[in-house]
């Protein structure tokens, strides 16, 4: 069974953490509608959606991806780089505990799940404002026991690794080379985002389909020209909170 853990948009999303964007008003009702439509697409692609309740005191809690890394053998509960986000992990850990053995990142490590790209038995971890070397070493010690490799990857000019590169096929990445060195990933196929759409590299692969933001039609055309089935969703309000389509779910097999 393919599962997707999501979380309802907090009524305080307008007070979210921001690193690269200026604060703009977020339409809460529109954000919730867009999030519901996103969940509907996940369901259409075969996911059983498990929505966690809203956390009014946690503005960023809709972005559940940052709280955990879910692998076949276990789930690693993160320690988000923004201190205000650390209480988000408890309900996600409780939900994942029904499906996976849990391990936890501890101080002084900080790790956002959006900085981890999982390709087969290899985890690439972006070194960002939110993720540090101490967490990379902790993650390495945990997952090496299960046969995974961990490689730290420098970033420039973006919030998370998955802002710069995401998997869109078995051996294919969608990438913004201005923010990350494509050579870091070894012999994989790279599809460049359109130069006019630098934020378009965040896409969510589910089975043989890719979910992406409708804000990036030129990059979508590049994906479709490469034979990739694309499902576009409107994520404009969540984008104002520096969120993308990967951020809003944890997708795994139960």
Tell which residue, 212, 202, 209, has the closest CA to residue 227. Answer: 209
247 in active site: yes
What is the tally of structural domains in the chain? Answer: 1
**Residue 117 near residue 161, CB atoms below 8 Å:** yes
The four Cα atoms 219, 171, 144, 88 give a dihedral, to 10 degrees, of 30
User: Looking at residue 61, which CATH number applies to its domain?
Assistant: 3.75.10.10
Report pLDDT for 218. 98
Q: Which candidate in 160, 212, 231, 248 is catalytic? A: 160
| Catalytic hit among 16, 212, 247, 248 | 247
Per-residue pLDDT, 176: 98
pLDDT of 156 reads 95
**Residue 68: domain span:** 2-253
Residue 86 C-alpha from the chain's centroid: 16
- C-alpha dihedral sign at 127, 132, 62, 171: positive
Give the model confidence (pLDDT) of 174-232 as tens digits: 999 999 999 999 999 999 999 999 999 999 999 999 999 999 999 999 999 999 999 99
């Amino acid at each position: 069974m393919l599962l997707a853990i999501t979380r309802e948009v907090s009524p305080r999303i307008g007070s979210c953490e921001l690193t690269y964007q200026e604060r703009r008003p977020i339409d809460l009702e529109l954000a919730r509608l867009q999030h519901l439509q996103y969940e509907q697409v996940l369901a259409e692609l075969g996911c059983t959606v498990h929505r966690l309740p809203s956390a009014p005191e946690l503005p960023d809690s809709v972005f559940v991806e940052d709280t955990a890394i879910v692998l076949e053998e276990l789930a690693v509960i993160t320690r988000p780089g923004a201190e205000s986000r650390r209480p988000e992990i408890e309900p996600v850990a409780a939900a994942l505990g029904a499906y996976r053995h849990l391990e936890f990142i501890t101080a002084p490590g900080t790790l956002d799940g959006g900085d981890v790209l999982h390709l087969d038995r290899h985890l690439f971890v972006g070194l960002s404002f939110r993720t540090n070397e101490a967490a990379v070493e902790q993650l390495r010690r945990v997952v090496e026991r299960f046969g995974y490799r961990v490689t730290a990857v420098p970033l420039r000019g973006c919030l998370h690794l998955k802002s710069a590169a995401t998997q869109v096929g078995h051996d294919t990445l969608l990438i913004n080379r201005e923010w990350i060195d494509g050579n870091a990933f070894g012999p994989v196929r790279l599809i460049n985002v359109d130069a006019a759409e630098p934020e378009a590299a965040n896409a969510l692969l589910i089975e043989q389909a890719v979910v992406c933001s409708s804000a990036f039609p030129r990059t979508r055309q590049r994906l479709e020209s490469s034979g990739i089935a694309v499902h576009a969703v409107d994520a404009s309000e969540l984008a104002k909170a520096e969120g993308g389509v990967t951020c809003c779910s944890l997708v795994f097999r139960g």
